[in-house]
C-alpha cells in the first residue's frame, strides 16, 4: 500500500499535468479561433443601409466583413429600420471594422453571395476618399469626401448577382455597363433607321420630284435653243457666201498646216504609241496578277480565319483546363496517389459542373472585354451588321454562362 508521501506526490503530479493540459487547450483554441487577435485589436462600429428592393441576400450576424477580399471585421446585427412604429422599407446592418481602416462617406459597400451554399459576406469594394466616377449630383460635386465618423451610416450598393462572384464586383459592374452601352447603341441605330424611313425619306422624295420637274423644263428650253441655233446657222451660211475667197485662202493655209500636223501625228503614232501600248499591256498584266493574288488571299483568308479562330479557342480552353488542374493539384496533391472511392466518384459530377461554370464565367469575361474594346475604339465605325454580330457574340456567351449556371444549380439540388 503506497505511503501518504507517495500519494501526495502523485496528486501533485496529476494536478500539474491537468493544469498544463488545460493551458495548452486554451492556447490552441485562442490561436485557431483568432480570439486573441480579435481581443487585442480595436474595432470601430459602423452601419450600412440597403433598400428592400435590393435586399440583403442571406447576410446574417457573424458574417465576414472583407476589404479587398481580406476579412477585417464581422457583421454584428441585421435589423429593419423602424420609425414611429412603421417599417421604412430599409434594412440596416451593423458591423465592426478594424480601426486601421479609414472609411469615407463615399465608400462602396456591397453584399457578395457565395457561389455554392447560402452564405454571404459584406464586401467593402472601395473605402472612398477620391470619387472613382464623375459626380452626378450637385452637392456631391461641390464638397469633397469626408472621413466617416465612428458609428456613421453608409448607403449600400445593390449586388449585381452571380457575376460578382465569378468576375469580381468591379469587373461585373463594368460588364453590366458595357452591355447597357451596347443596348443603347443598338437603340440609337434603330432610331436612326426609323427616322430615315419616317422623316427623311418623305422629304427627300419631294426634292427628287422637284429635280425631275426641273429636268423636264430644261428639256423644253433646250428645244428653244436648237431653234435659235438653226436661225444662227442660216445667218452664218450667208456670211460665208459673201467671204468665200477669204475663206478659201484660210483653208489653203489650214491644209498646209494640217500636212505638218499629219507628219507629226504619224511620228507620234509610229514611235510613241507603240511604247504607250507596251506600257499599258505591262500595267494590265500587273493588275491581273495583283487581282489574282488578292483573290487567292481572300479565298485563303476564310480558311485561315476559321482555323485561327478554332486554334485560339482550343488554346484558351486548354489554358483554362491547365489552370484548374494546377489549382486542384496544389490544393490536394494527395489525390495523385489516392484511389477514389464511391463517394468521391459521386461528387465528380458536382466538380465537373463547377468547372463548366467557371469556364463559362471566364469566357463571358473575355467576351465582355472584347466588346468593350470594340465599343471604346470603334464606336463611330460600327454598322448594323457589325452590331448584330457583336450582339450574337455576347448573347452566345451569356447563354453558355446561363446553361452552366443552371447545370450547377441542378446538380446542387439533386444532392
Output Rg (C-alpha) for the chain, integer angstroms: 43
Q: What angle do CA 81, 83, 87 make, to 5 degrees?
A: 55
How do residues 385-408 score in pLDDT, each as one tens digit?
Answer: 878 888 888 888 888 888 888 888
How do residues 224-261 score in pLDDT, each as one tens digit?
Answer: 766 776 776 666 677 667 767 776 777 677 677 777 77
Domain boundaries, the chain: 37-159, 312-414
Q: Which grid coordinates are listed for 158?
A: 445593390
The span from the CA of 130 to the CA of 142, in Å, is 13
Residue closest to 312 by CA, chosen among 258, 363, 268, 388: 363
Starting at the edge strand found earlier in the chain, the sheet holding 108-113 runs 108-113, 120-126, 64-67, 70-83, 86-98, 43-51, 153-155
How do residues 212-223 score in pLDDT, each as one tens digit?
Answer: 777 677 666 666
Q: Are 72 and 38 in contact (CB under 8 A)?
A: no
Per-residue confidence band for 96, with pLDDT thresholds at 50, 70 and 90 = very high
The span from the CA of 297 to the CA of 295, in Å, is 5
How do residues 167-187 score in pLDDT, each as one tens digit?
Answer: 555 565 566 567 667 667 777
Q: Which grid coordinates are listed for 369?
A: 472585354
Q: Which grid coordinates are listed for 279?
A: 506600257
Q: How many helices (H) and strands (E) does the chain have?
A: 10, 7
Give me the residues paired with residue 98 across strands.
Answer: 43
What average pLDDT does the chain have?
A: 76
287 pLDDT more than 70: yes
Using CB atoms within 10 A of its CB, is residue 292 exposed (0-12), middle (13-18) or buried (19+)? exposed
Amino acid at each position: 500500500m503506497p505511503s501518504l508521501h507517495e500519494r501526495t506526490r502523485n496528486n501533485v503530479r496529476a494536478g500539474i499535468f491537468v493544469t498544463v493540459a488545460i493551458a495548452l487547450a486554451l492556447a490552441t483554441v485562442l490561436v485557431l479561433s483568432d480570439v486573441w487577435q480579435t481581443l487585442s485589436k480595436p474595432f470601430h462600429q459602423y452601419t450600412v443601409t440597403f433598400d428592400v428592393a435590393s435586399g440583403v441576400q442571406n447576410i446574417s450576424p457573424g458574417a465576414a466583413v472583407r476589404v479587398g477580399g481580406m476579412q477585417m471585421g464581422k457583421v454584428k446585427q441585421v435589423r429593419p429600420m423602424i420609425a414611429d412604429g412603421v417599417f421604412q422599407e430599409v434594412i440596416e446592418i451593423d458591423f465592426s471594422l478594424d480601426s486601421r481602416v479609414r472609411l469615407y462617406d463615399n465608400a462602396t459597400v456591397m453584399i457578395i453571395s457565395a457561389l455554392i451554399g447560402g452564405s454571404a459576406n459584406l464586401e467593402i469594394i472601395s473605402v472612398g476618399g477620391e470619387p472613382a466616377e464623375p459626380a452626378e449630383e450637385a452637392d456631391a460635386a461641390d464638397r469633397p469626401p469626408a472621413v466617416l465618423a465612428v458609428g456613421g451610416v453608409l448607403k449600400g450598393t445593390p449586388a449585381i448577382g452571380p457575376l460578382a462572384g465569378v468576375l469580381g464586383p468591379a469587373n461585373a459592374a463594368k460588364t453590366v455597363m458595357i452591355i447597357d452601352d451596347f443596348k443603347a447603341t443598338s437603340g440609337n441605330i434603330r432610331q436612326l433607321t426609323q427616322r430615315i424611313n419616317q422623316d427623311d425619306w418623305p422629304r427627300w422624295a419631294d426634292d427628287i420630284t422637284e429635280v425631275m420637274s426641273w429636268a423636264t423644263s430644261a428639256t423644253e428650253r433646250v428645244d428653244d435653243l436648237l431653234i435659235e441655233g438653226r436661225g444662227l446657222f442660216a445667218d452664218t451660211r450667208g456670211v460665208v457666201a459673201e467671204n468665200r475667197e477669204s475663206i478659201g485662202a484660210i483653208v489653203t493655209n489650214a491644209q498646209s498646216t494640217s500636212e505638218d500636223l499629219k507628219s507629226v501625228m504619224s511620228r507620234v503614232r509610229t514611235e510613241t504609241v507603240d511604247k504607250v501600248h507596251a506600257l499599258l499591256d505591262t500595267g494590265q498584266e500587273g493588275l491581273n496578277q495583283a487581282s489574282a493574288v488578292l483573290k487567292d488571299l481572300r479565298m485563303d483568308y476564310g480558311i485561315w480565319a476559321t482555323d485561327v479562330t478554332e486554334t485560339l479557342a482550343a488554346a484558351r480552353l486548354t489554358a483554362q483546363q491547365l489552370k484548374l488542374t494546377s489549382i486542384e493539384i496544389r490544393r490536394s496533391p494527395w489525390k495523385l496517389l489516392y484511389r477514389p472511392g464511391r463517394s468521391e466518384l459521386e461528387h465528380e459530377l458536382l466538380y465537373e459542373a463547377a468547372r463548366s461554370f467557371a469556364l463559362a464565367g471566364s469566357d463571358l469575361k473575355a467576351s465582355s472585354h472584347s466588346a468593350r474594346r470594340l465599343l471604346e475604339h470603334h464606336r463611330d465605325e460600327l454598322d448594323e451588321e457589325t452590331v448584330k454580330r457583336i450582339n450574337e457574340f455576347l448573347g452566345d456567351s451569356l447563354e453558355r454562362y446561363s446553361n452552366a449556371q443552371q447545370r450547377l444549380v441542378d446538380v446542387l439540388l439533386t444532392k
